[in-house]
């Protein structure tokens, strides 16, 4: 079981009633619902982040949107998995490298910033995308045995497998 820590700014939130995490796969988290109880320091509009156990690697960030009861606050957080797995693309690519395909998908369909500089030297004669962005990115990962990473600043990296940085990873087996 994963250990998560919840923060409001630099202050850790410890009165948590419930966390529900929805995963698409073990590599991709779609969304998270967090219910905080009994904390007078939290109010509607406050920003809360959920991090890994190290306290620095941000998984989600969002704002409290409503009060369910007098002492309960609810946060809906959408991860990059939700974005990549809920945007459908239909497009034909000809004579493009896998990294060019991933860059086009990220730059033109998401609010992430493509930040890779790696070059594979591979060209795909024809590739048809008619699916969610995640599926196409996952296929490009399999072709090159690469990985896709999004860091805490919403910068997306399509890079050789094994590169390390903060954020979520999509890796093929």
Spatial separation of the C-alpha atoms in residues 146 and 144, rounded to whole Å = 5
Spatial separation of the C-alpha atoms in residues 21 and 10, rounded to whole Å = 23
Query: Bridge partners of 126?
Result: 94
Q: Residue 169: exposed, middle, or buried by beta-carbon count in 10 A (0-12, 13-18, 19+)?
A: middle
Query: Bridge partners of 11?
Result: 8
Pairing of strands 113-114, 155-160: parallel
How many CA atoms, within 13 angstroms, populate the side-chain half-sphere of residue 144?
Answer: 27
- Per-residue model confidence (pLDDT) at position 124: 96
pTM of the model: 0.60
Q: pLDDT (tens digit, 9 = 90+) per residue, 82-127?
A: 778 888 999 999 999 999 999 999 999 988 899 988 899 999 999 9
Give the strand order in the sheet containing 168-171: 113-114, 155-160, 146-150, 168-171
Is the Cα dihedral 31, 23, 137, 167 positive or negative? positive
Q: Residue 117: exposed, middle, or buried by beta-carbon count in 10 A (0-12, 13-18, 19+)?
A: exposed
- Per-residue model confidence (pLDDT) at position 118: 86
Q: pLDDT (tens digit, 9 = 90+) per residue, 6-29?
A: 777 777 877 777 777 776 665 566
Pairing of strands 58-69, 11-13: unpaired
- Per-residue model confidence (pLDDT) at position 83: 76
Spatial separation of the C-alpha atoms in residues 69 and 87, rounded to whole Å = 34
Q: Is the pLDDT assigned to residue 171 strictly greater than 70?
A: no
């Amino acid at each position: 079981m994963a250990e998560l820590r919840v923060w409001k700014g630099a202050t850790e939130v410890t009165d948590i009633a419930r966390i529900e995490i929805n995963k698409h796969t073990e590599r991709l988290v779609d969304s998270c619902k967090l219910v905080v109880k009994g904390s007078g320091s939290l109010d509607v509009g406050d920003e809360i982040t959920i991090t890994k156990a190290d306290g620095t690697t941000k998984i989600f960030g969002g704002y409290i949107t409503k009060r369910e009861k007098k002492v309960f606050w609810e946060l809906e957080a959408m991860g990059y998995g939700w974005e990549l797995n809920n945007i459908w693309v239909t497009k034909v690519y000809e004579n493009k490298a896998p990294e060019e395909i991933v860059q086009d998908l990220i730059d033109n369909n998401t609010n992430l910033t493509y930040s890779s500089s790696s070059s594979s030297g591979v060209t795909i004669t024809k590739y048809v995308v008619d699916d969610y962005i995640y599926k196409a990115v996952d296929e490009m990962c399999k072709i090159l045995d690469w990985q896709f990473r999004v860091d805490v600043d919403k910068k997306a990296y399509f890079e050789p497998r094994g590169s390390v940085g903060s954020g979520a990873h999509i890796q093929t087996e």
